[in-house]
Amino acid sequence: AVFIDIGANAGFYSALVAKRLGQDGLVLSIDPSPREYARLLWAREHNAHACRWICLNEGASFESSTLELQVHSNHTGMNSFAGKEMNATSITVPVRTMDSMALQLPDLYEGRPIDLMKIDVEGWEPQVLQGCNMLLERKLILKLIVEITPDWLKQNGRSKEELYTYLKAFKLMPTNSSDSWQYDELFELSLDN
């Protein structure tokens, strides 16, 4: 199985998956914050077991460049590219498209799809998905978990409806949908129609 964790933070979900995968498993964890990346490396060292676990200290976006990341002073899950935070330090970090990162993993293009991708990037989810166009067009993402926070998307000039419509065009269909202020949505690839 292949698991990609975008906005991996300290690697909680990556570690859970890595423990379940065997020799042929692949975990790719991506986080742009140097503070969280150090914790991610610790998690990999203590939890990787038999699978291949690759960690990248960069962000995912719609193009390859650099962006200002707001690193929250005391909440590791609140780092964001979308807007200024009162309790944050701004740092410049490299970002790439997920398509370009995946090209470094040839096994994804030898018939191995991404079994599960998780995106949790505090309102930057649409920009990450724009950088997945090749993966989406080739139907290489089978399941996708996206953290949906309508207020954060709105602060970034986006909406949850836009995100759902975008993914539906690639046959990734929602399984949940909610009116909560924040929730995780599971999209599954549907090859019907």
- Residues 82-122 have pLDDT tens digits of 766 667 789 999 999 999 998 877 666 566 799 999 999 99
- Measure the CA–CA gap between 152 and 136, rounded to whole angstroms: 24
Cβ-in-10-Å burial (0-12, 13-18, 19+) of 73 comes to exposed
**pLDDT number for residue 24:** 81
Closest CA to 83 of 97, 96, 67: 67
Beta strand pairing call for 183-189 and 143-148:
antiparallel
Question: In terms of C-beta density within 10 A (0-12 exposed, 13-18 middle, 19 or more buried), how is residue 121 classed?
Answer: buried
**What is the pLDDT, as a whole number, of residue 84?**
60
Per-residue pLDDT tens digits for 14-71: 999 998 888 888 899 999 999 999 999 999 998 767 788 999 999 999 999 999 998 9
pLDDT at position 67 is 93
What digits encode the pLDDT tens for the residues 129-179?
999 999 999 999 999 999 999 999 998 899 999 999 999 999 999 998 788
- The better pLDDT of the pair 78, 26 is held by 26
Task: Give the per-residue pLDDT at 107.
Answer: 63
Residue 83's pLDDT is what?
67
Q: Quick check: helix, strand or coil at residue 84? A: coil
pLDDT for the residue numbered 85: 63
pLDDT at 76 over 80: no
